[in-house]
Structures are given as C-alpha cells and as structure tokens.
C-alpha cells in the first residue's frame, strides 16, 4: 500500500476531513484534492532530505514519533503537533517554498492561498504518520540512520525511478 493510499484509506476519515476543512476554510472535497496533489511533492521532499548530504535524523525522529491512529483519535489536535517543523523538513530539500506552493495551487485550484497555507502544516503529520505506519518505524531502532534512510528512500520511491510522483498518482486515480 502506498503512502497516498494509506492517507486516503487509513488516515483521512470524515472527522479528519471535517477538521482540516474547518481549520483551513476549504471544503472537504477541496481538502482531499489538495492532499492528493500535495502528497507527491512533500514525499519527494522527504526523499530528497533523506538522500541528501545533510543529517536526516530529525526527519527520521519525526516520522517515528508520529502516529496516524492517534491523529485519527483526536483530529482536533492536528494543528497542535510540531507541524511547522515537520513541514520544514519536507520542504527543506525542494527548490520551492510553502508560499510559492500555496500561490501556485491557489491559481490552479481556485482556493485562497492563505487557506492553502494553513492546510499545509496539517498535511505534514498525515504524511509522517503514514510513513511511520507503512514502515513500522516506531518499532525499529532508529539509531542507525543509514539503514533507516535507505529503507525510507526505497519505500517512498517504490519503482526506483527517482520520482515519487508516478508511484502516487497511480494510487490517486483509484480514488478520484
């Protein structure tokens, strides 16, 4: 099961969607559509962070500490997590920033850029939680970051073509 599939099937129930919608001001269909579009970008950021020369231990720690099931149990707390730091880890290796992405999607999808900007940090824990759920990282010894980095990178880019977009878009088509 891919990360997007995990988010859409396991992490994005009606309560989470309603919470994200209420907190961002974007209707639930719009939230789901934006998550589908943003997940490949943010996962690519995670992949680049893990594959880069910099220390990825912060990202690994954030993934292993984020529990998708706990987010589902208390969706109202989705914006009280360490979301800004999570999002920064996902964007740190990309040649784009949150504002540019929000502006681009605002033009493309017709949603207010500030609403998209408020949604972005709430998507980060869903991605981190889905990565944790899929890799069962919280039950592994994360002290050997090289092994964990390789495992996460392989998982994110399942067909090893260097792109996560094709892996995730195939899954997204099943839902829309």
pLDDT in tens, 74-85: 888 888 768 888
Runs of H (alpha helix) within 52-82: 57-65, 68-73
- Total domains in the fold of the chain: 1
Full-model pTM? 0.76
Q: For 128-158, how does the pLDDT look when each residue is reduced to its tens digit (9 = 90+)?
A: 888 888 777 555 555 555 556 665 666 565 5
More confident residue, 110 or 60: 110
Of residues 144 and 111, which shows the higher confidence score? 111
Of the candidates 174, 166, 175, 173, the residue with the CA atom closest to the CA atom of residue 40: 166
Q: Assess contact for 64 and 142: CB atoms under 8 A.
A: yes
pLDDT of residue 82: 83
Nearest CA-CA partner of 152 in 166, 169, 170, 134 = 134
- Name the residue range of residue 41's domain: 3-175
């Amino acid at each position: 099961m891919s990360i997007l599939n995990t988010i859409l099937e396991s992490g994005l129930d009606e309560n989470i969607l309603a919470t994200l919608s209420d907190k961002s001001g974007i209707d639930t269909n719009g939230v789901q559509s934006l998550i589908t579009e943003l997940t490949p970008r943010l996962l690519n950021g995670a992949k680049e962070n893990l594959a880069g020369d910099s220390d990825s231990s912060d990202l690994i720690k954030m993934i292993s500490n984020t529990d998708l099931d706990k987010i589902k149990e208390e969706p109202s707390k989705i914006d009280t997590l360490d979301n800004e730091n999570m999002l920064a880890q996902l964007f740190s290796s990309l040649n784009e920033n949150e504002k540019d992405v929000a502006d681009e999607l605002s033009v493309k999808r017709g949603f207010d850029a500030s609403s998209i900007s408020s949604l972005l940090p709430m998507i980060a824990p869903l991605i981190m939680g889905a990565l944790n759920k899929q890799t069962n990282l919280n039950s592994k010894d994360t002290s050997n970051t090289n092994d964990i980095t390789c495992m996460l990178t392989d998982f994110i880019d399942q067909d090893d073509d260097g792109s996560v977009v094709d892996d995730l878009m195939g899954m997204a088509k099943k839902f829309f």
